[in-house]
């Protein structure tokens, strides 16, 4: 449209683009640059170019590969948990008689509490009162129903479960909120007439509800997946990466390599690996789900 030229859009975009280049673009370029250098805390300015050495060393290190496995378990586990519970509660909330009422608004306000609670405090609260093995909440409930206590955070077998559940608890509200908003747009008449015509529960879900929330399912999964992938705060507060590095996801590994051990080259090689993984996920999502169309 010709008149749009009058609005001089680039003048409005320019300051933001500059700030983005300084605060986002430059650090990303630096991260890539340092990942090809041997840099240590002492000699920050003059790293030696080592080509792919950092990456070769990383991928030959079984601790790094274990960290990748931990990241996959954590990311997929908490995404599946958050999406499943979010969808279930949202479908209950969007049922007739509850959706749109003051009661639904009251519930929704409190359902958002896990999401707005400071993540590192969520982790600490989990460590001290929820997963603690002798008097924590989860073991208290397990004993009440007659089951054995579990050493959640001190055994390498169970720490990841606790970490995944904690992050799932934190992210579920986001899924719940978006699914509720999506399901509430499906008119009662459509659901009712399908039910009268004898549609089973599953038919109703797969033929009517699923097609109408498919887009949201993809969007929510992408958001939760990518934010679980970069999660640091919850894990640091809950386990600090332990015990025995069983919950040391890539973000925590970057901190340990770069800040604790002062090996900046390797730390940046890990973050560049993360950058590649997240780019692949994003591009795949844009191509498959046409998520780029969201902003239109």
Partner 1 sequence: MGEAQRKIKNYRLRRRLSYGGRLAILLGWLAVCVVPILILVMASLKPTNLFQTIPEILSFQGMTLENYSRALRGGNFFLYLRNSMIISLSALVVVLVVCTPMAYGITRLPSIRQKNIVVFSVLSTRFLPYVVLAMPMFMLFRQLGISGTLTGVILAHLAMQMPMIVWLMLGFFSGIPLEVEEAAVIDGCSPFQTFWRISLPMVLPGLNASAILALIISYNEFLFAFFLAGRNTQPLTVGITRFVGGVDVGAQYGVVAAYGSLIIIPIILFALVANRYIVSGLTQGAVKG
User: Which residues in the 252-271 window bind partner 1 by CB under 8 A?
Assistant: 254-255, 258-259, 264, 267-268, 270-271
- When binding is defined by CB under 8 A, the residue of 70, 173, 191, 248 that contacts partner 1 is 173
User: Is residue 163 a contact residue for partner 1 (CB under 8 A)?
Assistant: no
Strands (E), the chain: 37-38, 48-49
Q: CA-CA distances (angstroms) from residue 146 to 115, 130, 140, 143, 152?
A: 31, 18, 10, 5, 17
Query: Which of 145, 196, 202, 288: binder of partner 1 (CB under 8 A)?
Result: 196
Q: Does 37 bind partner 1 (CB under 8 A)?
A: no
Choices 49-57, 74-82, 124-132, 151-159 (CB under 8 A): range interacting with partner 1: 124-132
Site for partner 1 in 201-230 (CB under 8 A): 201, 215-216, 219-220, 222, 226-227, 229-230
Q: Of 50-58, 61-69, 74-82, 112-120, which part binds partner 1 (CB under 8 A)?
A: 112-120
Residue 240 φ/ψ region, left for φ over 0, alpha for ψ in the -120 to 50 degree band, beta for the rest:
left
Q: Is 27 in the site for partner 1 (CB under 8 A)?
A: yes
Q: Choose one: 48-56, 57-65, 148-156, 287-295; the region binding partner 1 (CB under 8 A).
A: 287-295
- Using CB under 8 A as the binding rule, whether residue 24 contacts partner 1 is answered as yes
Do residues 269 and 35 lie in contact, with contact meaning Cβ atoms separated by under 8 Å? yes
Taking the C-alpha atoms of residue 189 and residue 25, their distance in angstroms, rounded to an integer, is 50
Asked if residue 291 lies in contact with residue 285, where contact means CB atoms within 8 angstroms, the answer is: yes
Report the C-alpha gap between 294 and 296 in whole angstroms. 6
Q: Does 165 bind partner 1 (CB under 8 A)?
A: no
How many residues belong to the site for partner 1 (CB under 8 A)? Answer: 113
**How does strand 37-38 pair with strand 48-49?**
antiparallel
**Least distance from C-beta 129 to partner 1, angstroms?**
5
Cβ-Cβ contacts under 8 Å for 82 (sequence gap 6 or more): 167, 168, 170, 171, 172, 174, 175, 224
By residue count, the chain amounts to 296
Residue 109 found at the interface with partner 1 (CB under 8 A) = yes
Q: Which stretch binds partner 1 (CB under 8 A): 56-64, 73-81, 153-161, 166-174?
A: 166-174
The CA distance from 172 to 85, in Å, is 6
- Contact with partner 1 (CB under 8 A) among 50, 80, 120, 186: 120
């Amino acid at each position: 449209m010709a008149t749009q030229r009058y609005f001089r859009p680039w003048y409005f975009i320019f300051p933001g683009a500059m700030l983005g280049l300084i605060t986002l673009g430059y650090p990303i370029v630096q991260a890539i640059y340092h990942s090809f250098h041997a840099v240590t805390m002492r000699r920050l300015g003059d790293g030696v170019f080592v080509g792919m050495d950092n990456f070769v060393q990383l991928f030959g290190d079984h601790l790094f590969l274990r960290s990748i496995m931990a990241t996959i378990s954590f990311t997929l586990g908490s995404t599946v948990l958050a999406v499943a519970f979010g969808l279930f509660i949202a479908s209950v909330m969007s049922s007739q008689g509850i959706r749109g009422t003051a009661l639904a608004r009251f519930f929704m306000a409190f359902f958002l509490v896990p999401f707005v609670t400071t993540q590192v405090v969520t982790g600490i609260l989990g460590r001290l009162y929820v997963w603690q093995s002798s008097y924590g909440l989860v073991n208290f409930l397990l004993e009440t129903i007659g089951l054995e206590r579990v050493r959640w955070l001190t055994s390498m077998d169970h720490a990841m479960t606790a970490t995944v559940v904690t992050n799932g608890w934190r992210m579920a509200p986001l899924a719940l909120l978006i699914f509720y908003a999506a399901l509430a747009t499906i008119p009662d008449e459509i659901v009712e007439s399908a039910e009268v015509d004898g549609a089973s529960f599953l038919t109703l879900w797969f033929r009517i509800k699923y097609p109408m929330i498919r887009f949201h399912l993809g969007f929510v999964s992408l958001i939760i997946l990518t934010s679980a992938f970069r999660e640091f705060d919850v894990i640091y507060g809950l386990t600090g990466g332990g015990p025995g590095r069983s919950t040391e996801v890539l973000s925590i590994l970057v901190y340990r390599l770069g800040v604790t051990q002062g090996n900046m080259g390797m730390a940046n090689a890990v973050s560049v690996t993360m950058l590649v993984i997240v780019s692949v996920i994003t591009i795949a999502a844009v191509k498959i789900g046409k998520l780029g169309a969201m902003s239109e």
